[in-house]
Structures are given as structure tokens and as C-alpha cells.
């Protein structure tokens, strides 16, 4: 399922240098309540497919038209000697729009696509709750490992980023196994054939690695927030998996040009959301107006790539440029 990774010492050293300034951008952010995303109506080559077409490898379908309440739970995993606690946000029963509820009963019906999210250096999954709960409210199960060396409170071993694609694949395997575990709340709720990877900064490096040397063939799409390919390379492999890059042009940690260079190497359908005034983290994940643009754009992208919702793809350019806060290079 996965290709063996070849490590490049020089690239790894450059990666460490580029991330030394820190990834989280705003590590003291409070987790915001889940806000309902923009409602959806009820109703394999790198060149753009026909307008309105389904995503590669995913049958045409329709994403949920109503927002969900959000539940949250913890999985205690270990890969070899690597502890990997995983925070899972998921669609839940109840009224949409409130804060995520610990161990809330999952939504009564439906199988939900899965998004594996990787945090940045010196960060932790709950710092991204403002974005990730919006994904869950839109109908996705979002699982975010806390990595043993690069999380807040870890030893800051930056080059361990190169081991994290394997951590994500392991966590994905364990999560998907819950779909058949008697008595588990997520039994029968996981769409194992509709999985995406996403990540911010060092987590974006991890995400790119899952499509290059550490290719996980279960992944249908990727979302790269303020990322670079240093250390993991741009030898994108396997079946076409559309990619959405999001990057602030004023990023003070990972240069916009570095993210753009990685984006240009993607051989599949792709788009890049650029925020002219965006920095490394706050404008992407904490500023209200920019957060809404990033949230709505990523939700529409995931609706298209994981639910096969062609209408979401058609809406994506309009939402991405709302308020003139961002531009979209659309090659989907």
C-alpha cells in the first residue's frame, strides 16, 4: 500500500531550518464553536476535467445539505514505541452550531468520509478546532494524531516530521477498523473508500509525504495548508488525488514561493488558494474573515473530492474569492 521513503539528508536539513521559527502561528488560540458551513443545495489526467464532473475515483453523489452537530472523542494509539493519541471530531446528533460535545452520539444515519489532519510543529490538534469542527459539521469524520516529537510539549525533534506519514497511515488503519467493531459508536459510520489527508506547516509536509515517498493509496485527496515539499520531495505517485493548497503570501515561516513550487509539481487536478495578506497561521486559521474563506473553500473541495458532489466544485471559485481576501488558481 505504501512506497518506501528515501530520505535526503540535505533536504532534511533545509526542512529543519525552514521550520525552526515554529509552525503553529498562534499556539494560544481558543477552540471556537462549530459554525455551520455554507449549506449545499439538496439537489485522471492533470488537465482540468469537464465542468461539473465528479472527482477522480469517486462516484458522483451529493454532500449533506444540512450542517451537523459535532462530537469529539479520543483514541489512545501507539505505533511501535511512538504514542499517537488521536482526536476525532465527527457528525453528531443534536442542533448544529454549538461547541463540540465530548462523546456525543454520532449522527443516526449515513457513512461519512474521513479526513486525516496533521498539526504543525509545536502545536496540537485542538488548536485547529475552529477549522476542523467546521469540516465535521459539514459531514466529515476528522482524525488528528498528536505526534510524539513535534507536538507542543514534545522534544521538538523537527526531522521526525519524516516519520509522520507512517504515523498517519497507521492511525487511519486503526480508525477505519472501528467501522466493524461491535459496540463502537462509529460502527457503520465510516466511508473507508473516501479518505483525504490534510495538514498545516510541518503537518502539510507530512501530508505531501503521504502522496510522494510515503504514498498511501487509500487517499483520494489532499489539503496542504502553508506547506513545503522539503524533506519529502515532489515525486507524486499513485492514482490521481486532487490537491488543494492554501498559503499566505506574507508567510514568515514557509515562504509562499516554496509552497507554490510544490504546488506546481502536482500532476493531478489541483487548485491553490492564495491570501495576499495571509501569514503562516493566524490569517489562515484564526482571523474570522480569512477563516471563513479557508473553511468554505476547503469544505467545498472535500465535498467534491469525497462525496463526488459536482455542484460543490462549481461553487468553489465563487466562495474562494468572496470579499477579495484571496485568489484561486483553479486547475481542478
pLDDT at 51 over 60: no
**Residue pLDDT, tens place only, 272-294:** 999 999 999 877 777 689 999 99
Supply the pLDDT for residue 26. Answer: 45
Q: 10 Å Cβ neighbour count for 50?
A: 6
Question: From the DSSP assignment, how many helices (H) and strands (E) are in the chain?
Answer: 8, 10
Supply the pLDDT for residue 55. Answer: 87
Cα distance between residue 139 and residue 309, in whole Å: 13
The band of 24, judged by pLDDT with boundaries at 50, 70 and 90, is low
According to DSSP, the residues that pair with 114 across neighbouring strands are 141, 195
- The grid cell for 58 is 469517486
pLDDT over 70 percentage in the chain: 83
Q: Which residue has the cell 489526467?
A: 45
The band of 13, judged by pLDDT with boundaries at 50, 70 and 90, is low
The band of 22, judged by pLDDT with boundaries at 50, 70 and 90, is low
Q: 10 Å Cβ neighbour count for 17?
A: 11
- DSSP code for 265: H
Q: Whole-number mean pLDDT of the chain?
A: 88
Identify the sign of the CA torsion 198, 31, 18, 255.
positive
Supply the pLDDT for residue 281. Answer: 87
According to DSSP, the residues that pair with 143 across neighbouring strands are 88, 116
What average pLDDT does the segment 132-143 reach? 98
Supply the pLDDT for residue 46. Answer: 38
pLDDT at 323 over 60: yes
Query: DSSP readout, 162-183?
Result: GGHHHHHHHHHHHHHHGGG-TT
**Residue pLDDT, tens place only, 210-244:** 999 999 999 999 999 999 999 999 999 999 999 99
Fold of 65-331: Rossmann fold (3.40.50)
Side-chain-facing half-sphere of 217: CA atoms under 13 Å: 6
The band of 18, judged by pLDDT with boundaries at 50, 70 and 90, is low
Query: Which residues, other chains included, contact 236 with Cβ-Cβ below 8 Å and sequence gap of 6+?
Result: 211, 212, 265, 266, 267, 268
Supply the pLDDT for residue 6. Answer: 42
Q: Which residue has the higher pLDDT, 9 or 321?
A: 321
pLDDT at 207 over 80: yes
Supply the pLDDT for residue 16. Answer: 58
Supply the pLDDT for residue 285. Answer: 73
What average pLDDT does the segment 149-162 reach? 91
Cα distance between residue 217 and residue 237, in whole Å: 9
pLDDT at 5 over 70: no
CA distances, 130 to each of 30, 152, 199, 209, 326 (Å): 8, 18, 14, 25, 19
Radius of gyration of the chain (CA): 18
DSSP element (H, E) containing 18: helix 9-19
Q: 10 Å Cβ neighbour count for 173?
A: 14
What average pLDDT does the segment 116-134 reach? 96
Q: Which residue has the higher pLDDT, 19 or 66?
A: 66
Cα distance between residue 64 and residue 139, in whole Å: 6
What average pLDDT does the segment 176-196 reach? 97
Cα distance between residue 301 and residue 218, in whole Å: 18
- The grid cell for 176 is 477505519
Cα distance between residue 202 and residue 117, in whole Å: 11
Amino acid at each position: 500500500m505504501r512506497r518506501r521513503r528515501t530520505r535526503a539528508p540535505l533536504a532534511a536539513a533545509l526542512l529543519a531550518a525552514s521550520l525552526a521559527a515554529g509552525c503553529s502561528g498562534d499556539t494560544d488560540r481558543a477552540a471556537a464553536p462549530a459554525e455551520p458551513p455554507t449549506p449545499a443545495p439538496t439537489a485522471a489526467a492533470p488537465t482540468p476535467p469537464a465542468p461539473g464532473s465528479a472527482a477522480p475515483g469517486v462516484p458522483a453523489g451529493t454532500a449533506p445539505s444540512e450542517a451537523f452537530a459535532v462530537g469529539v472523542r479520543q483514541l489512545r494509539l501507539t505505533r511501535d514505541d511512538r504514542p499517537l493519541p488521536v482526536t476525532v471530531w465527527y457528525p453528531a446528533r443534536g442542533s448544529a452550531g454549538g461547541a463540540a460535545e465530548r462523546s456525543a452520539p454520532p449522527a443516526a444515519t449515513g457513512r461519512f468520509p474521513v479526513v486525516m489532519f496533521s498539526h504543525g510543529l509545536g502545536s496540537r490538534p485542538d488548536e485547529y478546532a475552529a477549522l476542523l469542527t467546521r469540516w465535521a459539521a459539514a459531514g466529515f469524520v476528522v482524525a488528528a494524531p498528536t505526534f510524539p516529537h513535534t507536538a507542543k510539549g514534545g522534544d521538538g525533534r523537527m526531522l521526525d516530521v519524516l516519520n509522520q506519514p507512517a504515523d498517519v497511515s497507521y492511525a487511519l488503519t486503526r480508525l477505519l477498523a472501528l467501522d466493524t467493531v461491535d459496540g463502537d459508536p462509529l460502527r457503520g459510520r465510516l466511508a473507508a473508500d473516501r479518505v483525504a489527508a490534510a495538514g498545516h506547516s510541518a503537518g502539510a509536509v507530512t501530508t505531501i509525504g503521504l502522496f510522494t515517498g510515503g504514498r498511501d493509496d487509500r487517499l483520494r485527496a489532499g489539503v496542504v495548508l502553508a506547506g513545503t515539499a522539503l524533506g519529502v520531495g515532489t515525486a507524486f505517485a499513485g492514482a490521481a488525488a486532487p490537491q488543494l493548497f492554501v498559503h499566505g503570501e506574507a508567510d514568515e515561516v514557509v515562504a509562499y514561493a516554496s509552497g507554490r513550487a510544490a504546488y506546481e509539481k502536482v500532476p493531478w487536478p489541483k487548485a491553490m488558494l492564495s491570501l495576499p495578506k495571509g501569514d503562516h497561521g493566524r490569517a489562515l486559521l484564526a482571523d474570522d474573515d480569512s477563516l471563513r474563506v479557508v473553511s468554505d473553500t476547503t469544505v467545498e473541495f472535500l465535498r467534491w473530492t469525497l462525496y463526488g458532489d459536482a455542484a460543490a466544485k462549481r461553487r468553489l471559485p465563487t466562495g474562494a474569492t468572496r470579499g477579495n481576501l484571496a485568489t484561486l488558481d483553479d486547475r481542478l
